[in-house]
A = this chain, B = another copy of it.
Amino acid sequence: MTTCLTPAQLADRHRDTLDTALETIAGRGYWSPYPEHPKAYGDGATVLNSLDAEQGLAAFNAVRDSRFELDQPGTTGWVGAEHSPYGFALGVSYPKADIDQLLPAMAAGVPAWRDAGPEVRALVCLEILARINAHTMEFAHAVMHTSGQAFMMAMQAGGPHAQDRGLEAVAYAYAEQTRLPRNAAWSKPQGKRGPIELTKEFTAVPRGVSLLVGCNTFPTWNGFPGLFASLAAGNPVLVKPHPHAVLPLAIAVRFAREVLHAAGFSRDLVTLVAEEDGGTVAADLARRPEVRIIDYTGSTAFGDWLETHAPQAQVYTEKAGVNTVVIDSTDNYKGMIANLAFSLSLYSGQMCTTPQNLLVPRHGIATDDGEKTYDQVVSDLAAAVEHLLADDSRAVSILGAIVSPAVRARVQTAPEIGDVALRSRSIRHPEFPDATVRTPVLVKLDAAKPEHEAAYRAECFGPVSFAVAVDSTAEGLALLRSTIAEQGAMTVGGYTTSEEVERGLVDVCLEECAQLSLNLTGGVYVNQTSAFSDLHGSGGNPAANAALVDAAFVADRFRMVEVRRQA
């Protein structure tokens, strides 16, 4: 086998990027090595050898209606039934794997990968990310036509932002594995006698096979952190995508296999196991003794099941939650309304970070534009969403398409829950007439009405939000607290000009362990986080048992073996 990528070449290409990533996760400023502007991609553009949007589409079209070859051992057939939320079948089929052949093949590559050490592993991961980055436009189409995200969002969130999260995970994994020196000399004084001397050698060793159970809405953004953290820590990674969003992760697996091979390692350190709806591969794999790490994004039911039924594995989950915004007062009423309108509209509210419950005091709020009643706040927000989405072609570029019939059904039945402040409308996509596109629905609920409680106490995933009238901000804070404690939350938002209320919001979030965004009125939204700076989730409330990305996310993906010898 010809080794095409030497450690020196890899270091030359990527060591600076790794170092900057390490600095940035410590300082938490803004940085990304992967441009988010579409113009950065294409012939002669910033990112070398990258595809432009048209080439990305061509690459996407080239894999449609074909077999996605990965040359994996134990391939026993072909499987795949992805259907774009924009209204067509992808027609791609993926290798079906005999797991009893695949797992030993994955294990065979481990010793060399372990012996390569943390730096080479990190650099190989960065080369994989670099090739993924160059194909951002291909990922854009793949993510768009599996998740239903609009093109620009699929390009950014499914491309550079996901790559950022992957790199962040690599940086953390490298930092954790290099906290102990490779070799140490130990000399213990013994008074008049000479000292006792030992040499010590520390090696990061992998835990075992890492299983990534992907999600439908953000296959790369939610998948890359676990994939790269585990791989950088020396573990082989088995990628089990959501049956409706296989392609983005399959492309990533292909690049990983290509780079591992070029760098002289086994391709089978990263493999794909695809399945169609109704399969039980994730549950079957999760209980295999070889599987020692599981990363999962999806329903609370299966997440909880994994946390209790796979005791042999470290299990990192992101599950359902109920995100709340407490609206107490503002010195920028227009900015607040516009910011919230965008938050509710982006990707049709199909983000785990989209606000669901907007808590507004029934007596109204103080603003720079005078007192606003509960009804005014709600109708102003409804009008802002309508205005934002008034133009159909602009609307589809923000909304994207509805990912599943279940989400569509929730939009349909939302009016039964309470008074509708903003009716959802159906939009015909100018380019994809069969896409299901819906604007958000905003329902008025009242915390004083027991019959409303079931609705705002459960996640209603999709473009359905509740404007919940509360007696006071204090009642709102109490409701926020119990909602985080019982349902969990990926995000919390707050608007207030009162120091006391701000302190109350911060206290609730510190005590119930949730990430808080205060008084966002500009171009940052509560549903967005930035890699290297923001944490995604806290890992400390029921919505997720891990945060993206911190040391706890990587520290237990490897163990440290010490060999000590008499000096």
A553 to chain B, nearest CB (A): 9
Contact with B along A545-567 (1 / 0, CB 8 A): 00100111001100111111110
Q: Which of the segments A94-102, A383-391, A513-521 contacts the partner chain? A: A513-521
Give the contacting residue for A540; candidates B27, B530, B534, B559; CB below 8 A.
Answer: B559
The listed residue (B26, B111, B530) touching A186 by CB distance below 8 A is: B530
CB < 8 Å: which of B181, B207, B518 contacts A563? B518
The reply on A533 being an interface residue by CB < 8 A is yes
Q: How far is the CA of A513 from the CA of B234 in the complex (A)?
A: 13
Chain B min CB distance to A423 (Å)? 31
Pairwise interchain contact A190-B523, C-beta atoms closer than 8 A: yes
> Whole-angstrom distance from the CB of A188 to the nearest CB of chain B?
4
Q: B517 and A205: CB pair below 8 A?
A: no
> Is A517 a contact of B559 with CB atoms below 8 Å?
no
Name the one of B516, B534, B538 contacting A559, with C-beta atoms under 8 angstroms.
B538
Whether a CB of chain B sits under 8 angstroms from the CB of A187 is yes
**Hey, what's the 0/1 contact readout for A409-432 against B, CB within 8 Å counting as 1?**
000000000000000000000000
A27 & B517 in contact (Cβ 8 Å cutoff) = no
Chain B: which residue is nearest A190 at the CB level?
A: B523
Complex-state Cα separation, A520 to B538, whole angstroms: 46
Does chain B have a CB within 8 A of A450?
Answer: no
| Contact (Cβ within 8 A) B561 A515 | yes
B-contact bits for A85-105, CB 8 A (1 contact / 0 none): 000000000000000000000
Q: Are A552 and B555 in contact (CB under 8 A)?
A: yes
For residue A366, CB closer than 8 A to chain B, the reply is no
With both beta carbons as reference points, the residue of chain B lying nearest to A542 in the complex is identified as B312
> Given A196-B522, A535-B560, A556-B552, A30 and B187 touching (CB < 8 A)?
yes
**Per-residue CB proximity of A162-197 to B under 8 Å, as 1/0?**
000000000000001001110011111110000010
**How many A residues touch B, CB cutoff 8 Å?**
66
| List of B residues within 8 angstroms of A205 by Cβ | 510-511, 513, 540
A455 CB–B CB distance under 8 Å: no
User: What chain B residues lie within 8 Å of A562 (beta carbons)?
Assistant: 515-516, 534-535
For A207, the chain B residues whose CB sits under 8 A away are 540
- Say whether A179 contacts B26, CB under 8 Å: yes
Partner of A181, one of B28, B307, B506, B517: B28
Q: Is A285 an interface residue (CB 8 A)?
A: no
Q: In A22-65, which residues have CB < 8 Å from any B CB?
A: 26-30
Known A533-B186, A555-B555; contact A566-B180, beta-carbon cutoff 8 A: no
- A4: interface (CB < 8 Å): no
| A564 and chain B: residue at smallest CB distance | B517
On chain B, the residues within 8 Å of A308 by CB distance are 308, 311
Q: How far is the CA of A552 from the CA of B30 in the complex (A)?
A: 27
Closest to A526 in B: B564
Nearest B residue to A519 via CB reads B566
Residues of B close to A311: CB separation below 8 A: 307-308
Contact of A561 among B179, B538, B551 (CB under 8 A): B538
Residues in B with CB closer than 8 Å to A563 are 506, 509, 516-518
- Measured CA separation A185–B180 after assembly (Å): 30
Q: Give residues 477-518 of A contacting B (CB, 8 Å).
A: 506-507, 509-511, 513-518
Interface string of A205-217 (1 = CB under 8 A from B): 1010000000000
B186 in contact with A28 (CB, 8 Å): yes
Q: Which residue, of A198, A202, A207, A307, has the highest number of chain B Cβ atoms within 10 A?
A: A198
Contact yes or no, B511 A111, CB < 8 A: yes
Nearest CB on B from A477, distance (A): 15
Judging by beta carbons under 8 Å apart, are A520 and B566 in contact?
Answer: yes
> Closest 9 A-B residue pairs measured CB to CB?
A540-B559, A28-B184, A552-B555, A552-B556, A555-B555, A30-B188, A518-B565, A551-B555, A516-B563
Q: Please list the residues of chain A having a beta carbon within 8 angstroms of any beta carbon in chain B.
A: 26-30, 111, 114, 176, 179-181, 184-190, 196, 198, 200, 202-203, 205, 207, 307-308, 311, 506-507, 509-511, 513-524, 530, 533-535, 538-540, 547, 550-552, 555-556, 559-566
- List 5 other contacts, CB 8 Å, given A30-B187, A515-B561, A552-B559: A27-B181, A27-B184, A28-B200, A176-B551, A196-B524
